[in-house]
Amino acid sequence: MVHLSSLLLKKYHGGYVVLRLALAGHKQANRPFYRIVAAYNKRARDGKYIEQLGSYDPLPNIYNEKLVSFNFDRIKYWIGCGAHPSKPVAKLLGLAGFFPLHPMTITEAERRRAQTQRTETATGTEETVEEGQKPVEV
Amino acid sequence: MAALSTARCLFRSYSRVKNVQKSKQILMKCSVRTFCSETQDNAPTDNAKPSFSDPAVQDVLTRITGLDLQKVFRPIKQELKPPAYQLMTDKQLEEAVDLATEQAKKLLQMPPVLPERKPINDVLCEDKMLDGMDTAKYVFTDITYNIPHRERFIVVRQPNGTLRKASWEERDRLIQVYFPKSGRKITAPLIFEEKNLKLVYSQDRHEDVLDLCLVQFEPDSSEYIKVHAATYENLDKHGKYDLLRSTRHFGGLTWYLVNARRVDGLIVDMLKRELFQDAVSLVSLFHMVHPHSESAQEAASQQATGIDLLKIYAQKESQRSGYIELALQAYEQTAAEGSAA
Which residues on A lie below 8 Å from B125 (Cβ)?
97
Burial annotation A58-95 (CB, 10 A radius, 16+ → b, else e): eeeeeeebbbbbbbbebbebbbeeebebeebbbbbbbb
Between A9 and B297, the more confident residue is: B297
DSSP track, B81-115:
---------HHHHHHHHHHHHHHHHHHTPPPP--P
Nearest CA in chain A to B140: A68
Q: What is the pTM of this model?
A: 0.72
B133: nearest CB among A54, A71, A109 = A109
Contact B140 A65 (CB under 8 A): no
B140: nearest CB among A10, A68, A106 = A68
Nearest CA in chain A to B15: A2
CA distance B40 to chain A (A): 29
Contact B143 A71 (CB under 8 A): yes
Strand order in the sheet with A34-40: A84-85, A17-23, A34-40, A51-56, A65-70, B137-142, B154-157, B162-165, B123-126
Q: Which residues pair with B154 in a beta bridge?
A: B141
Query: A17-99, what's its fold?
Result: S16 Ribosomal Protein; Chain: A; (3.30.1320)
Residue B287, judged by CB atoms within 10 A of its CB (0-12, 13-18, 19+), counts as buried
pLDDT above 90 (res A36): yes
A109: nearest CB among B6, B13, B131 = B131
Contact B135 A64 (CB under 8 A): yes
From residue B236, alpha-carbon distances to B66, B224, B240, B243 in Å are 19, 18, 7, 11
pLDDT above 90: percentage of residues in chain A: 62
pLDDT above 50 (res A77): yes
Question: Does A60 reach chain B within 8 Å, measured CB to CB?
Answer: yes
CA–CA distance, B144 with B178 (Å, rounded to integer): 11
Q: Which residues pair with A85 in a beta bridge?
A: A19
Question: Do A67 and B141 form a contact (C-beta atoms < 8 A)?
Answer: yes
B129: nearest CB among A8, A63, A106 = A106
Q: Under 8 Å CB-to-CB from B136, ≥6 apart: which residues? A: A60, A64, A65, A66, B159
Q: Which residues of chain B have pLDDT under 70?
A: 1-48, 75-79, 341
DSSP track, B279-300:
HHHHHHHHHHH-TTSHHHHHHH
Mean pLDDT for the stretch of residues A88-102? 93
Question: Do B263 and B257 form a contact (C-beta atoms < 8 A)?
Answer: yes
- Half-sphere exposure (CA, 13 Å, Cβ side) for B318? 22
Question: Do B132 and A117 form a contact (C-beta atoms < 8 A)?
Answer: no
Nearest CA in chain B to A1: B17
Which residues on B lie below 8 Å from A2 (Cβ)?
13-14, 16-17
CA–CA distance, A103 with A91 (Å, rounded to integer): 9
CA–CA distance, B226 with B218 (Å, rounded to integer): 12
Question: Does A57 reach chain B within 8 Å, measured CB to CB?
Answer: no
Question: Do A60 and B158 form a contact (C-beta atoms < 8 A)?
Answer: no
- Please report, for chain A, the start and end positions of each structural domain, with discontinuous segments joined by +: 17-99
Question: Do B258 and B286 form a contact (C-beta atoms < 8 A)?
Answer: yes
Between B9 and A64, the more confident residue is: A64
Contact B144 A73 (CB under 8 A): yes
Total residues found in chain A within this entry: 138
